[in-house]
Amino acid sequence: MTGPGGCGGHEGIGEELRVLALAALDRVDPVLARLRAGPVTDAPEACASCPVCAIIAALRGERPELAVRLAEHAAGLVAVLRTALLEGAEGGTASGAEPDPAADRPPPRRVQRIPVERRTS
């Protein structure tokens, strides 16, 4: 077993995978931007609710509403993934501030001692 750097045969693979994922996200961004831009077009014979038909119509150059909505949500997912990958590369938070260890701890419990006297009748 090796130290925290991992085994000798796979050193740096995490960084390589991170760079590869960021490159893939860079390629997906223009496609999603093209799908989100412009007016929605519907073909009369196309299915309006099937994701497969919406993707096929988008590949044909049409812009069905479902494909536009899927592209909007996918763009949000891409943004979140990019932020997570960039934060992992920096080893901290996106703002550059160090996380506050006191924020992770629960607040101290406040306990009030109340004397209880039992009366016997």
Mean pLDDT over residues 90-107, rounded? 59
46 within 8 A of 53, measured Cβ to Cβ:
yes
* CB of 21 closer than 8 Å to CB of 85: yes
Residue percentage of the chain with pLDDT more than 90: 7
In sequence order, which residues have a C-beta less than 8 Å from that of residue 31 and are 6 or more positions away?
none
* CA-wise closest residue to 93 among 84, 105, 104: 84
Q: Give tens-digit pLDDT for 31-50.
A: 888 878 877 776 656 676 78
Domain boundaries, the chain: 12-95
Q: pLDDT value at position 59?
A: 81
Distance between CA atoms of residues 58 and 91, nearest Å: 38
What confidence score (pLDDT) does residue 77 get?
92
Residue 119, pLDDT > 80, answer yes
Q: pTM of this prediction?
A: 0.55
DSSP assignment string, 80-98: HHHHHHHHHHHTS-TT-PP
Report which of residues 94 and 45 the model is more confident about: 45
Long-range contacts of 16-20 (CB under 8 A, 24+ apart): 18/85, 18/88, 18/89
